[in-house]
């Protein structure tokens, strides 16, 4: 497992249509709260990887408006893992306090994924303080870079490795404007990524990853070697070691501002923290700030 191969397997994390449909179905149908951190196994192939474990925050914000005007309803849904439970931080169908406000999950490539669903939405603005945000747009109605990977990524047929310039994709702030008849918000996913942290950890031939410069045992199969390199064997191998990373950069703030057709603005902030657990695995914790 060389540096380029490891880099490629970390980067190829876009869901296919089958995975996307299953993820959305689970989010819409699940209503179980998340009570603890769980490690989800991810099988990586030589060319494509199953999507990164996502943390999904679910916020339902209902605003009362004068009689005769459109009702504005928002839901920011977040789930943990491809097949894991979905939950809501607030839900008008549940009693206050029935669900928690913090989620935490092991993720060797720290990220947070969520979508914003609702009615009467004219604009969504999402910004970050330290790291980056981007979108995956299956509706193909927003900036082309969010749905056409050819704008930032090329595939080398000889090496069978995708090479990307993520500076062309990642932003500190993104703004989405929607036509009046647009109602497919659930088909646009927003992804926070700890890109600065990853670049730091990958310096000097991945010196800040656990197991850096250690030889892979010869008796491992290719799949077992990939699992070990990505940290999916439970050992923490392949996870970023953050002892030397500045504490203030281990945390980030995602600010979400939703504007409806009447000009009313709703602001929500998600606090994100990346840390190492007792197994030296990289853990992403996200919480809604009141």
Give the pLDDT confidence of 160-194 residue by residue, as tens digits: 888 888 888 999 999 999 999 998 887 888 889 99
Cα dihedral 232→238→243→248 (10° resolution): -80
Q: Are 284 and 107 in contact (CB under 8 A)?
A: yes
Length of the chain: 290
On average, the pLDDT of the chain sits at 70
What's residue 88's pLDDT?
43
3-state class (DSSP) for residue 144? helix
Q: In terms of pTM, does the model score above 0.75?
A: no
Helix (H) or strand (E) holding 138: none
d(CA 206, CA 2): 10
Q: Give dist(CA 116, CA 135) in Å, integer.
A: 11
SS3 category, 120? coil
Looking at residue 52, its pLDDT comes to 39
Q: What is the pLDDT of residues 105-145, one digit of tens each?
A: 788 889 887 778 777 889 999 999 999 999 999 999 999 99
The answer to whether the CB of 136 falls within 8 A of the CB of 170 is: no
Provide the pLDDT for residue 94.
40
Q: Please state, in angstroms and as integers, the Cα–Cα distance from residue 11 to each residue in 44, 48, 106, 140, 175, following that order.
A: 11, 9, 17, 21, 24
d(CA 119, CA 74): 7
Average pLDDT for 66-73: 48
* C-beta atoms surrounding 286 within 10 Å: 23
- Contact (Cβ atoms closer than 8 angstroms) between residue 201 and residue 194: no
Query: Mean pLDDT lowest for which of 8-12, 228-232, 271-275, 282-286?
Result: 8-12
Split at pLDDT 50, 70, 90, the class of 217 is low
Percent of the chain with pLDDT over 70: 56
CB 205 within 8 A of CB 5: no
User: φ and ψ at 153, to 5 degrees?
Assistant: -135, 140
């Amino acid at each position: 497992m060389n540096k380029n191969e490891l880099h490629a397997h970390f980067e190829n994390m876009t869901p296919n249509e089958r995975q996307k449909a299953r993820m959305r179905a689970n989010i819409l149908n699940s209503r179980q709260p998340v009570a603890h951190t769980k490690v989800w196994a991810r099988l990586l192939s030589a060319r494509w990887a199953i999507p990164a474990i996502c943390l999904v925050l679910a916020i339902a914000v209902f605003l009362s408006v004068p009689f005769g005007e459109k009702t504005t309803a928002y839901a920011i849904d977040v789930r943990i893992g491809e097949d894991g439970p979905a939950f809501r931080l607030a839900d008008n169908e549940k009693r206050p306090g029935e669900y928690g406000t913090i989620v935490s999950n092991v993720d060797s490539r720290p990220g947070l994924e969520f979508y914003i669903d609702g009615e009467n939405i004219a604009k969504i603005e999402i910004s970050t303080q330290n790291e980056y945000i981007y979108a995956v747009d299956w509706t193909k109605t927003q900036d082309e870079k969010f749905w056409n990977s050819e704008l930032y990524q090329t595939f080398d047929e000889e090496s069978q490795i995708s090479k990307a310039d993520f500076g062309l994709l990642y932003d500190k702030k993104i703004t989405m404007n929607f036509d009046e008849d647009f109602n497919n918000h659930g088909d646009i996913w927003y992804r926070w990524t700890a890109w600065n942290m990853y670049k730091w950890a990958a310096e000097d031939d991945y010196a800040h990853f656990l197991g850096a410069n250690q030889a892979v045992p010869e008796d491992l199969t290719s799949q077992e070697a990939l699992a070990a390199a990505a940290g999916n064997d439970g050992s923490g191998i392949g996870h970023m070691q953050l002892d030397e990373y500045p504490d203030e950069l281990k945390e980030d703030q995602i600010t979400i501002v939703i504007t409806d057709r009447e000009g009313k603005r709703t602001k929500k902030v998600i606090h994100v923290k990346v840390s190492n657990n007792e197994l030296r695995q990289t853990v992403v914790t996200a919480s809604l700030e009141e």
